[in-house]
Amino acid sequence: MKDAGFEVSPESYFDTITVDVGLLQKGVMQAAVNEGVNLRAVGRTRIGITLDERTRPATIEAVWRAFGIDRADEDYAPHYQMPDSLIRQSDYLTHPVFHMNRAETEMMRYMRRLADRDLALDRAMIPLGSCTMKLNSAAEMMPVTWDSFSLLHPFVPKDQAQGYTQMIEDLSAKLCDVTGYAAISMQPNSGAQGEYAGLLTIAGYHRAQGQGHRNVCLIPVNAHGTNPASAQMVGWKVVAVKCDDQGSIDVADFRAKAEQHADNLAGTMITYPSTHGVFEETVKEVCEITHAHGGQVYIDGANMNAMVGLSRPGDLGGDVSHLNLHKTFCIPHGGGGPGMGPIGVKAHLIPHLPGDPNTGEGAVSAAPFGSPSLLPISWAYCLMMGGEGLTQATRVAILNANYIAKRLEGAYDILYRGRTGRVAHECIVDTRPFAEHGVTVDDIAKRLVDNGFHAPTMSWPVAGTLMIEPTESETKAELDRFCDAMLAIRAEIDAIAGGEMPYDQSPLHHAPHTMEDLIKDWDRPYSREQGCFPPGAFRVDKYWPPVNRVDNVFGDRNLLCTCPPMDDYLEAAE
């Protein structure tokens, strides 16, 4: 570029430069498009170019041709303009793990060993309450690997993304139909960010109405756990609302606080069905009270797996909701990967949805559609299931949760139920009564690992309990295996309570049991079979925990470094 007379900046760069082309900006960019390359306009006279490790000589030559330069990449030797102060002098990748696998076969086996230690959905049900760990089918996942989806830049010219646009618009229309809202914004990258975006939308609406002073948010204690944090992030004051003995919103307390804060009420954040796993019958009344006192209603969409095809938050009185596409609509959930938390809004809130990241006004993500490469998963899920299939999935999710609650009835207290004695798509098992015998929720969770089950959600939303959500993905056989395991654990608790076995010598206290426990000397008052092969555990292909129980509290308070000692880092720095 410099040889051809162009001004290139900056002097030092990593992967991006800008080139001043004056009035030729549009012509050069169009010439680049003709070469199959997209460049970026910077101001009115400059063009931005970014390269990465995938860039090949043919692409570099195409860029040169767009600038009128007819040269071959081989004509130039590599020229780096990195300041000496930024060039790495220290060693890197020094941990032994980076050097232990020098052959592909060894790397393959190393990865297999890691996978074997994991207790994931490909082994057993993961009954995490409020997290909806359901099947992500291979057919839905395949398009994510296609270059036409995964390599498209989020700011590519619209005429090059017509397929993406069609998919986003069609999925948005389907989600509007599912939720009862007038429009969807695909920008939020997670459920929490969806909450934040939804509240910003409400705040924008209030400002437009000359009510920008409204800053109070009513949040019942049975709402989703991230709700108070989201309200704080938009600068609102959180006012907690009590729940009754059945775990539902205390309407009298809600009404009193709505009246108390009527002049400043910005909104209400509720979760339906509630985080206690109950369809609250007063949800419409709560929405009406909020609207009567000038507020807007945010209905958390974390539990949409219990609603799709049966009820719609927009019909219940909600003004805005987020949808966890990484839960209800089958994008894989967990592991720190990207999620999607689009928000649906009623018509009056549409002008206040997140704005264009290019303008910097009202955007909540750096890209207009968040992580759109994930959307083929949810789109394929909706297309393959169809409306009838989506509705049936919801029915089965609710049926499965109620089946577990009924089978465990009598052995465990189910903490909250609706007026008819049913739960929604999840149930809370109360394990607190066993504390008098020394048994904790941790003991039960670790014992489930012996049975080959990932533990349910522990101590949330109620401390000392297990919240179980089986989803629609699990068969009756797997549900029975889980219930058999839970009932066998209750029998072990009864043995402790009856004095048949001391707690500190029980399978619950020693859980989980490793293969090393099985083969080494055994001096415990219960058999190896009871310890390592309890009811619910597979005899063949049993999951073996790689380690015994970890003392979480001790670990939190006594940090141990498993990487090379700090002296090694000091020597490297010197």
CA distance 364 to 528: 55
Q: Is the pLDDT of residue 569 over 70?
A: no
CA distance 127 to 237: 34
Least confident of 221-225, 236-240, 450-454: 221-225
Among 278, 284, 266, 296, residue whose Cα is nearest residue 222: 278
Q: What is the pLDDT of residues 366-407, one digit of tens each?
A: 999 999 999 999 999 999 999 999 999 999 999 999 999 999
What's the rounded mean pLDDT across residues 551-561? 80
Of 85 and 426, which is predicted with more confidence?
A: 426
Task: Give the per-residue pLDDT at 86.
Answer: 85
Q: Rounded to the nearest 5°, which phi and psi values hold at 298? A: -105, 115
Task: Give the per-residue pLDDT at 568.
Answer: 62
Long-range contacts of residues 516-521, Cβ cutoff 8 Å, at least 24 apart: 517/548
Q: Is the pLDDT of residue 562 over 70?
A: no
CA distance 167 to 378: 10
Task: Give the per-residue pLDDT at 124.
Answer: 94
- What global pTM score does this model have? 0.91
Q: Is the pLDDT of residue 224 over 90?
A: no
Task: Give the per-residue pLDDT at 557.
Answer: 87
Of 106 and 246, which is predicted with more confidence?
A: 106
Alpha helices in 7-90 (DSSP H): 25-34, 57-66
Task: Give the per-residue pLDDT at 75.
Answer: 85
Q: What is the mean pLDDT of the chain?
A: 93
Task: Give the per-residue pLDDT at 262.
Answer: 98
What's the rounded mean pLDDT across residues 478-501? 98
CB 535 within 8 A of CB 484: yes
Q: How confident is the model at residue 247 (pLDDT cuts 50, 70, 90)?
A: confident
Q: In terms of residues, how long is the chain? A: 574
Question: At CA 17, angle to CA 15 and CA 22, rounded to 5?
Answer: 160
CA distance 434 to 525: 21
CB 270 within 8 A of CB 422: no
Q: Is the pLDDT of residue 333 over 90?
A: no
- Percent over 90 (pLDDT), the chain: 81
Of 236 and 337, which is predicted with more confidence?
A: 236
| Distance, first Cα to last Cα, the chain | 39
CB 25 within 8 A of CB 46: yes
Q: What is the pLDDT of residues 178-204, one digit of tens each?
A: 999 999 999 999 999 999 999 999 999
Sheet of strand 343-345: strand arrangement: 183-185, 343-345, 320-322, 296-300, 265-271, 216-220, 237-241
Q: Is the pLDDT of residue 470 over 80?
A: yes
Task: Give the per-residue pLDDT at 560.
Answer: 72
Among 276, 274, 271, residue whose Cα is nearest residue 227: 271
Among 532, 242, 195, 461, residue whose Cα is nearest residue 354: 195
Q: How confident is the model at residue 359 (pLDDT cuts 50, 70, 90)?
A: confident
CA distance 450 to 531: 8
Q: What is the pLDDT of residues 13-54, one digit of tens each?
A: 889 999 999 999 999 999 999 999 999 999 999 999 999 999
Question: At CA 392, angle to CA 391 and CA 398, rounded to 5?
Answer: 95
Q: What is the dihedral of CA 308, 309, 312, 316, to 10 degrees?
A: -120
What's the rounded mean pLDDT across residues 122-144? 92
- Percent over 70 (pLDDT), the chain: 97
Number of other CB atoms surrounding residue 508 within 10 Å: 24
CB 195 within 8 A of CB 344: no
Q: Is the pLDDT of residue 72 over 70?
A: yes
What's the rounded mean pLDDT across residues 431-460? 96
In the block, tokens 């940090």 appear at 559
Q: What is the pLDDT of residues 408-419, one digit of tens each?
A: 999 999 999 999
CA distance 404 to 499: 29
